[in-house]
Amino acid sequence: MANEVLTSADNGVLTITLNRPKAKNAANRALAEGFVAAVDELEGNDDLRVGILTGAGGSFCSGMDLKAFVTGETPHIPGRGFAGLTEYRASKPIIAAVEGYALAGGFEMAISCDLIVAAEDSKFGIPEVKRGLAAAAGGLAKLPKQISYRIAMELALTGDFISAQRAYDLGLINQVVPSGTALEAATAMAAKIAANGPLAVAASMQVVYSAQDWTSDIMFDKQNEIVQPVFVSEDAIEGATAFAEKRAPNWKGK
C-alpha cells in the first residue's frame, strides 16, 4: 500500500488514515488505490469488525487533488467511486473521524461512511459549484436522503460550508467532540460496535441502509430475508447464553 494511506489494527478495529497532510489529504489516484486496499483488508479479515476513516495533519479530506485533475489524473476507481469509497458499500461499518475540513469529495467520503464523529471546529461542504464543477460523487444524490431537501439544495447551489454543530443539528453527524479528539471518540464508538455480534451488526446495517428504498408493503418481507438467519445462528444462542451466565459473549460469526 502506498504511503498516501496508512492502516493500523487494534481490538477488531482497523483505522485507515489518509496521509497527504501537506495537501489537506486531497485525493489523488494513489490515495484512492490505497484506500481500496485498506477496505479490502477490512472486508477480508474476520478479526476486523469496524473501520475508522480519518485524515493526517488535522484535516479529514479537502476533496479532489485539482493539480492532479488538470493533468488528467482521476481518483475515481471503477465500481468504487471517488477515492474508492463513494460508490461502494462495505459489509462492515465505517466511522468517519473528522478534524478540520471535509469538503467536496472529502465531504462525500464522510457521508458515504455509516457514522460520523466530528471535531467542533471542523467544516463540511460541497463547494464544487464555486469551481465550475458538480458534487457528482454522492453529494447531490446522497445528501437529500440524509438531510432535508431544501438544506441539501442550499449546500449544493451556494457551495457554502457549514460547521460541525450545524451538521449535527441537521442530523448529518452523530457526535461533535472537542478539537483533536475525533479519532479518540470514533475509536470509543467502534469499540462498542466491535463488542456486538458480527452477524447481527452486518444484518442491522443492511436493513437500515436498504429500508430507505422499501415501500411499507414489502419492508417486513425484505427485512426478514436479511435478519432471519441471525436468529438461527450460533451467535444468537451464544448471546442469550452469555446474558444468562452474566459473562461476555464469545462470538464466532456464524
pLDDT in tens, 191-236: 999 999 999 999 999 999 999 999 999 999 999 999 999 999 999 9
Judgement on whether residues 125 and 239 belong to the same structural domain of the protein: no
3-state secondary structure of 186: helix
CB atoms within 10 A of CB 232: 8
Active-site amino acid positions: 108, 128
pLDDT in the model for residue 72: 82
Judgement on whether residues 156 and 202 belong to the same structural domain of the protein: no
Task: Look at residue 19 and tell me if it is in a domain.
Answer: yes
Range of weakest confidence among 69-83, 113-127, 162-176: 69-83
Judgement on whether residues 18 and 104 belong to the same structural domain of the protein: yes
Q: Which domain, by its residues, includes 207?
A: 198-245
pLDDT at 69 over 90: no
Judgement on whether residues 71 and 141 belong to the same structural domain of the protein: yes
Residues 144/13, Cβ–Cβ less than 8 Å: no
Judgement on whether residues 28 and 71 belong to the same structural domain of the protein: yes
pLDDT at 1 over 50: no
The alpha-carbon radius of gyration of the chain (Å, integer) is 19
Model confidence band, residue 70 (pLDDT cutoffs 50, 70, 90): confident
Q: Is 70 left (phi over 0), alpha (psi -120 to 50) or beta?
A: alpha
- CATH number of residue 238's parent domain: 1.10.12
**Bridge partners for 52 per DSSP:** 15, 95
**Bridge partners for 124 per DSSP:** 102, 162
**What share of the chain in percent tops pLDDT 90?**
92
Closest CA to 77 of 33, 34, 141, 28: 33
Judgement on whether residues 91 and 106 belong to the same structural domain of the protein: yes
Judgement on whether residues 125 and 238 belong to the same structural domain of the protein: no
pLDDT in the model for residue 51: 98
Find how far residue 56's CA is from the centre of its chain.
16
Model confidence band, residue 73 (pLDDT cutoffs 50, 70, 90): confident
Q: How many domains does the chain have?
A: 2
pLDDT at 59 over 50: yes
Model confidence band, residue 68 (pLDDT cutoffs 50, 70, 90): confident
- CATH number of residue 37's parent domain: 3.90.226.10
**CA–CA dist 90, 94 (Å, integer):** 8
Strands 101-103 and 94-98: unpaired
Judgement on whether residues 123 and 157 belong to the same structural domain of the protein: yes
Task: Look at residue 251 and tell me if it is in a domain.
Answer: no
Q: Which 8-state DSSP code applies to residue 61?
A: B
Closest CA to 106 of 127, 121, 92: 127
pLDDT in the model for residue 14: 98
Helices (H) and strands (E) in the chain, counts: 10, 11
